[in-house]
């Protein structure tokens, strides 16, 4: 089911409350900015922006349930299977209190659960051939006061997700994506960036440039340390055990850089907190390997969960199962990539 945004707007008045929950990367924030700009242009609404990860989406939904908005848009957040029960319950509570919810996404895990969304009263705007920013560009950008600008914003999100190539915007998109991954790029900075896009319609500012430089310096140091933790170096695969390192939210970026450098499927196992062990995997364009399918199948046997895309996926298990996760990955990689 594809939800018609025009129908949603017709049911809203200028005193309606709206909220957007977005993933904190460039695709999520670019699509969120375009959605917010469309709401502002058509209905004069100032939507509240919340930022989440798939595994903690249910906490944001629970917060909103205290005083539900009239409409909620969720963008670029795939379903985390380990927390889906809590997410589903929170969605049900919001719908029962009159909140109209539309989920804008491109992750396979979301489309798999589409029948449950429809039963619960949540509508889906989904693509299997693009990103959340693709949907924002096609559906929402034409409704903004400056479609040309928000098409550029959405294009940056698509570039960051590898959906498209645009030489004119590539450098800017790379800088913004790097800035968003800097350790100091917390939620207030991300909300400020979206506000700049929506209200000032500028692509980049000095703070973005500073944070991008911070990111590159830290990333270089972390990559050097991570490369010392290789436990399996196979013909087409590389497994790294970085559970003793603090990766500061950079695991996915590190895996991507190494995968592209080595031309090998790269998985990094790390511990982001005292409770979990996480494996994040990146697949270079030179290798055929469905990371989402392979890792999800493996981790389901261990009682864990995760999500992502065919070339960029992450799974998590309880921390005490970290050795078992690592050994299982080694067996998988030797069978598929050895």
What pLDDT sits at residue 6? Answer: 53
The last residue of one of the domains, among 142, 164, 186, is 164
- DSSP symbol at 274: S
Please say if the pLDDT value at position 165 is more than 80.
no
Nearest partner of 193 among 315, 22, 13, judged by Cα:
22
Q: What is the mean pLDDT of residues 117-139?
A: 90
In a domain, 214, yes or no: no
In a domain, 53, yes or no: yes
Residues 147 and 66 in one domain: yes
Q: What is the mean pLDDT of residues 111-123?
A: 83
Enclosing domain of residue 313 = 226-337
What pLDDT sits at residue 1? Answer: 35
Q: How does pLDDT run across 40-78, given as a tens digit for each residue? A: 988 778 899 999 999 999 999 999 999 999 999 999 999
The last residue of one of the domains, among 164, 191, 214, is 164
Query: Strands 312-318 and 305-309: what pairing?
Result: antiparallel
CA dist list (Å): 62 to 72, 86, 95, 176, 270: 13, 9, 12, 30, 28
Q: Residue 316 belongs to a domain with what CATH number?
A: 3.10.310.40
Distance of CA 233 to the CA centre of its chain: 28
The last residue of one of the domains, among 164, 196, 213, is 164
Residues 151 and 235 in one domain: no
In a domain, 326, yes or no: yes
pLDDT band at 261 (very low <50, low <70, confident <90, very high): very high
Q: How does pLDDT run across 274-298, given as a tens digit for each residue? A: 889 999 999 998 999 999 899 988 9
Count of structural domains within the chain: 2
What pLDDT sits at residue 224? Answer: 96
**How far, in Å, CA of 108 to CA of 88, rounded?**
17
Residues 278 and 143 in one domain: no
Residues 153 and 242 in one domain: no
């Amino acid at each position: 089911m594809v939800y018609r945004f025009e129908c949603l707007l017709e049911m809203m008045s200028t005193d309606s409350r709206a909220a957007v929950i977005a993933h904190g990367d460039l695709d999520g924030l670019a699509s969120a900015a375009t959605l917010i700009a469309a709401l502002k242009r058509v209905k004069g609404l100032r939507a509240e922006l919340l930022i989440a990860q798939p595994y903690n989406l249910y906490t944001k939904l629970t917060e909103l349930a205290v005083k539900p908005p009239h409409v909620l848009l969720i963008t670029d957040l795939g379903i985390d299977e380990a927390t889906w029960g809590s997410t589903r319950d929170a969605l049900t509570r919001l719908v029962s209190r009159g909140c109209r919810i539309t989920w804008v996404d491109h992750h396979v895990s979301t489309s798999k659960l589409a029948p449950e969304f429809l039963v619960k009263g949540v509508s889906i705007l989904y693509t299997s051939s693009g990103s959340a920013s693709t949907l924002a560009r096609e559906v929402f950008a034409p409704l903004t006061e400056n479609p040309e600008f928000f098409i550029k914003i959405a294009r940056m999100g698509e570039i960051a997700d590898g959906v498209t190539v645009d030489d004119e915007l590539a450098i800017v998109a790379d800088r913004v994506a790097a800035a968003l991954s800097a350790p100091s790029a917390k939620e207030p900075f991300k909300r400020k960036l979206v506000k700049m896009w929506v209200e000032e319609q500028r692509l980049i500012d000095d703070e973005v440039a500073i944070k991008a430089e911070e990111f590159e310096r830290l990333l270089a140091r972390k990559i050097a340390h991570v490369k010392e933790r290789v436990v399996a170096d196979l013909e087409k695969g590389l497994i790294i055990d970085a559970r003793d390192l603090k990766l500061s939210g950079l695991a996915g970026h590190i895996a991507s850089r190494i995968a592209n450098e080595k031309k090998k499927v790269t998985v990094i196992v790390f511990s982001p907190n005292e409770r979990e062990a996480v494996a994040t995997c990146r697949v270079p364009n030179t290798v055929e390997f469905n990371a989402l399918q392979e890792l999800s199948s493996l981790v389901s046997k261990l009682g864990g969960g995760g999500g992502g895309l065919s070339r960029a996926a992450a799974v998590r298990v309880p921390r005490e199962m970290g050795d078992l996760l690592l050994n299982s990955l080694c067996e998988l990689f030797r069978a598929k990539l050895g």
